[in-house]
Amino acid sequence: MSISHVDDGQLHAYLDGELPQAEAWRLEAHLGECPACRGRLEEQRALIARAGELLALAAPPARDVPPFPSRPGDAQPPPPARWPARLPLAWAATVMLALAAGWYLRGEPPIAPAAPDRRAAAPHDTARTVPTRQAPESKTLAQQAPPAGRALPEADEAARSVAAAQRDQMISGSAVPNPQITPLDQAARAKPPPTPAAALAALAAPAAPLAVRWETIPWDTARVMLGVEPARIPNLPAVAKRRSAAERVVLVEQQLASGTVVRLHERPAAEGAPGMEVGAAAVQRVDVSERLARYVGNLRVEIEGALPADSLSKLLELVK
């Protein structure tokens, strides 16, 4: 291209209406006497149109402009109509509800598994004592505990904590042989590191009727089970699991960067919220002080592990 011709940049600027007036006049004068550049002008016009089309294909869906946020982090919670779509703001609110309500209810009433499994030791006992020694509180709890699968009613806070801790450790042990949950287990279980002895003890113990294995299922299967898109935190990989084909409860497991695990138990809307036993049967093995469980609508939300301060404050802001 000779100096006297116009370059593509000028043509684009011209077609974009961004060429300064004086340059535009010069360019138009040149185009008037140069068919080659006129041809290129049309090529570039088509190129700009095509690029615009492609970008439009990748445009976000048109949505209403939300209300103006008045302070940083003060994004408005979504209007009610947006809830069914399970949008992130709705999600933040959901998780926040779980936090607010669940924070002081942490160490929720434990499930009483069948008696043979009550051999789990107190949280800080060494693995060696697990199969043989029964912690004193354990007996009390076994007596207090209602039939398997039911929540412990109105136990005092201390007993609840101990029981929850026991349950956590016990389920932790029995979860060991399940290869599908292993990666999460290992990350989350860092605190009380599993020992071979504990694993053996768990294997030796009769299988806990409630600590059922959750098998990973394809997302499509989960969707079919629920009849709707399973709830999940957007932008975060999720794994769907179920206990059995007959039981229409879907567990969606997601892990935040911090290692915190969020589990969502969901049933088809017509069948109400999954029972407490569902949560307890899931793999759980984190220090109770860092575990929350709460119902939000028909959804059971469990959060394991610390929530980073910035997430917490962001969630708080969003809920306001």
Partner 1 sequence: MPDDLAEIYRSTFPALVRFLYRKVWDVERAEDLAQEAFARAVVHKPESVRGWLFVVAANMARDDARRAARERRHLTLLTSEPASAPAVDEAVHAEAERSRVRTALEQLTPRDREVLLLWDAGLSYDEIATQTGLARGAVGTTLARARRRLVEAFAAGERDEHIARG
Q: Which residues contact 213 (CB under 8 A, 6 or more apart)?
A: 178, 180, 243
Compute the distance between CA of residue 16 and CA of residue 18 in angstroms, rounded to an integer: 5
Q: Give the residue, chosen from 12, 30, 106, 133, that forms a contact with partner 1 under the rule CB under 8 A.
A: 12
Maximum separation of any 2 CA atoms in the chain, in Å: 100
Q: Give the residue, chosen from 61, 147, 153, 196, that forms a contact with partner 1 under the rule CB under 8 A.
A: 61
Residue that is written with structure tokens 């006129």 in the block: 38
Q: Which two tokens stand for residue 117?
A: 């499994």
Q: Give the residue, chosen from 184, 198, 201, 212, that forms a contact with partner 1 under the rule CB under 8 A.
A: 184
Our CB check for partner 1 shows the closer of 85 and 154 to be: 85
CB-based burial, 31-57: b 16+ in 10 Å, e otherwise? beebeebeebbeebeeeeeeeeeeeee
Q: Give the residue, chosen from 3, 22, 59, 270, that forms a contact with partner 1 under the rule CB under 8 A.
A: 59
Is residue 309 near partner 1 by the rule CB under 8 A?
no
Letters for 249-288 (x = contact with partner 1 by CB under 8 A, - = none) are: ----x-xxx-x-----------------------------
Helix 88-103, helix 309-319: angle, nearest 10: 110
Compute the distance between CA of residue 66 and CA of residue 71 in angstroms, rounded to an integer: 14
> How many chain residues interact with partner 1 (CB under 8 A)?
62
Compute the distance between CA of residue 211 and CA of residue 114 in angstroms, rounded to an integer: 10
Q: Give the residue, chosen from 93, 239, 251, 315, that forms a contact with partner 1 under the rule CB under 8 A.
A: 239
Compute the distance between CA of residue 182 and CA of residue 172 in angstroms, rounded to an integer: 11
User: Closest Cα partner for 301 from 276, 319, 318, 320?
Assistant: 276
Choices 101-109, 115-123, 133-141, 228-236 (CB under 8 A): range interacting with partner 1: 228-236
Our CB check for partner 1 shows the closer of 85 and 270 to be: 85
Choices 58-66, 136-144, 155-163, 241-249 (CB under 8 A): range interacting with partner 1: 58-66
Is residue 81 near partner 1 by the rule CB under 8 A?
no
Is residue 79 near partner 1 by the rule CB under 8 A?
no
User: Which chain residues interact with partner 1 by CB under 8 A?
Assistant: 7-13, 16, 18-19, 44, 47-48, 50-52, 54-55, 57-63, 65-66, 68-76, 87-89, 183-184, 187, 216, 218-220, 222-223, 229, 232, 234-240, 253, 255-257, 259
